[in-house]
Amino acid sequence: MRFKTFISAVALTLAIGATAQARPFTAKDLATLERVSDPHVSPDGRWVAYNVRTTDWDANRGWSALWVLDRTMPAAPPRLIRDHEPGGTSPRWSADGQWLYFVSSRSGSAQIWRAAAGSSEARPVTALPLEVATYRLSPDGRTIVAAVNIDPACATLACGKAHDEARSKVKATGTVYDGATPRFWDSYLDGRFLSLFAISVSDAAPATDAAALTPGYRADIVSRPEGDESAFAITPDSQGVIFSARPSGSAQGLGEPNSLYRVAIAGGAPPARFEWSRDRSDNTPTPSPDGARLAYLSQTGSTFTAPRARLMVRDLKSGVARELAAGLDRSFGALAWSPDGSTLYALAEDTGQEKLFAIDATTGAAKALTGDGHVGSFDVAKGAVVYSRDALDSPAQLFDLATAGPRALTHVGESALGQTPMSAFSQFSFTGWNGETVHGYVVKPAGFEAGRKYPVAFLIHGGPHGSFGNAWSYRWNPQVWAGMGYAVVMVDFHGSSGYGEAFAKSIVGHWGDRPLEDLQKGWTYALAHNDFLDGDRACALGGSYGGYMVAWIAGNWAKPWKCLVNHDGVFDIRLMSYSTDIPGFQQAQNDAATWVNPGAVETFNPVNFVANWVDPMLVIHSGRDDRVPLDQGMGAYGAAQLRHVPSQLLYFPDENHWVLKPQNSVQWYATVGAWMKRWLDATSTPP
């Protein structure tokens, strides 16, 4: 049975069982769905530990729980290990399979705990003065290497704790900065960095101290806001740690390349860099099971322009590195070795999908193990490959890649999903800029009836090196618009990821022309091939770069749209190039420094075309967005108001570049839905 057919069969069974209760999918459904993530398989392949996030609506936040299931007993219910954790539980198995380690805040701070395999009883392993951000276990079971946020002037955790406490007592609030940017993502920098510490594991009592492996290192070894333990690895002999980081003391936000470093797990010596290149960034170090080779990902050129992440394997004795799967023009992500070291597993976006690939470690031959949909994470153990898979019509569930085809391991939230059947979707392709093939998706509205015309939400993704592909999203989710009665059209314009390196990099220096041509041609194609799309009742919506494109459309392609929605969008590229938390990004995307070639900025700068604005625009922006700072949204809203263009501003003081709080998410959709209904006169159901 093909993978998509299997998923469809499950969805059909659920829909038939709940026909009487069927209703459109809503924003609150999206916000309150249970979310499965982070599967990890025990070394013997029997147990799978994973995280499930639930929503506390009244508290306006999410909580995590740690579950374990038995792969060998499909009918057995999963076992709860720990619930009501404020963050992800990060389950990890010891190399001998006897222990399941995880992160818990039950003691008052994020510390490492463990439970025996097959048991739900757990006890703390650490009681450190500072919280654990992420961690890895040594193969010999004697050491944990953890990332901890600490002042680099401190060589001990106790010193770091004392510095934090002293800082909290200072009444003066001013801070002096001398780096390229004083803030990152949603916080002002405070001089602390995520550094590595080695913790001795004891059966007697929780560890209260740790040895600094990177004392004085002035750069995050685990990147923020979403970095994880893939930034570092412990060697199979348990004697060393290999990590990836930008150079110590380098400026945050300028795109300094990452290098690979090695440090003894016993500490006592500064990290030694493998080699340095001004033009190459190396990351995701993954030692082979025998310790003789190191797999890693390497990008040449500015990482801000989406160079292909190539899969490299280095012989650690000779130092010789070679590329695997060189003929596959895709950018690889997460890595894992097979237990026997013959195969590397890696993720890569591929034409609107995110696939799991198996790469022969000798020949470099690559084979896709999954088909359509989006593989979010995976783990490999003896006789087992387990992964999470989601799609436009399905949130994530865990699957076992068995020889007879994928087997579902989890069914989290399916009773709720059975009440809200997902809308059908299809992928299309057309000839875009430069005569090249461009892809997109159309999603039908809930309760679709042939012969009817439906208003359209034209969604434009951010990045710009992103994709609105066959994946589930807890922020911009087409099924919510479908539930409101809208058809959805999405186009992966030039610059999008998953279509090859040249396709992704073609947007550099061309933010306003090549992607716009693709969007225009994609819109024309979608209307011509889907007679249910009402081209006279359509709204264009985008966030981040997509918000930039909405502002650009307002001045350069206003005719098709009855309304616009601009979320956290770039309005003035010139100001953005100086004020964003990653100024190196805008320079790389402009293909020139702003002061060197102003024309590279002004040619496609939306602020220069405000005189053409006529379409009603809803502007949404957040107070803690340092990626696209608040003045960008305020500028767009001010421009619309000064032009007497019908406009509204939705402002979230407590959100960053993403709207994450459940009730804020529902308000976001409610405001967007009301705005679209006002201008499209849609007969739709409010979210």
Tokens of 60: 């306006």
Q: How far apart are CA 168 and CA 679, in angstroms?
A: 50
- Amino acid letter, 119: S
Q: In whole angstroms, how far apart are CA 435 and each of 431, 432, 438, 510?
A: 6, 6, 9, 16
Q: How far apart are CA 105 and CA 87, in angstroms?
A: 8
Q: What is the DSSP letter of 159?
A: H
Q: How far apart are CA 492 and CA 479, in angstroms?
A: 18
Q: Please state whether 120 falls in left (phi above 0), alpha (psi between -120 and 50) or beta.
A: alpha
Q: How far apart are CA 147 and CA 68, in angstroms?
A: 25
3-state secondary structure 205-234: CCECCCEECCCCCCCCCCCCCCCCHHHEEE
- Amino acid letter, 458: F
What three-state secondary structure class fits 175? coil
What three-state secondary structure class fits 417? helix
Report whether 496 contacts 467 (CB < 8 A): yes
Q: Could you tell me where the DSSP H helices lie in 324-471?
A: 414-417
- Amino acid letter, 350: D
Report whether 192 contacts 218 (CB < 8 A): no
Q: How far apart are CA 36 and CA 377, in angstroms?
A: 10
DSSP class per residue in 313-351: EEETTT--EEEESTT--S-EEEEEE-TTSSEEEEEEEET
Q: How far apart are CA 234 and CA 342, in angstroms?
A: 20
Strands 122-124 and 111-116 come out as antiparallel
Tokens of 170: 């200072």
Query: Is 625 a catalytic site residue?
Result: yes
Tokens of 332: 């690889």
Q: Given 544, 577, 622, 684, which residue is catalytic?
A: 544
Strands 240-245 and 259-264 come out as antiparallel
CA atoms within a 13 Å half-sphere pointing along the CA-CB vector of 617: 36
Q: Given 40, 506, 657, 684, which residue is catalytic?
A: 657
- Amino acid letter, 566: N
Q: How far apart are CA 261 and CA 282, in angstroms?
A: 10
CA gyration radius, the chain: 25
Query: Is 429 a catalytic site residue?
Result: no
Beta bridge partners of 343: 360
E-assigned strand segments in 600-685: 617-622, 647-652
Q: CA-based angle 461:465:466, to the nearest 5?
A: 45
Tokens of 56: 């506390």
Q: Given 29, 581, 615, 625, which residue is catalytic?
A: 625
Tokens of 68: 């374990």
List phi, psi (to 5°) of 582: -125, 75
- Residue 655: name the closest of 664, 666, 644 by CA: 664
Beta bridge partners of 389: 375, 397
CA 145 to chain centre: 24
Q: In what order do the strands lie in the sheet with 232-234?
A: 232-234, 240-245, 259-264, 272-273
Q: What is the DSSP letter of 606?
A: G
Residues identified as active-site: 544, 625, 657
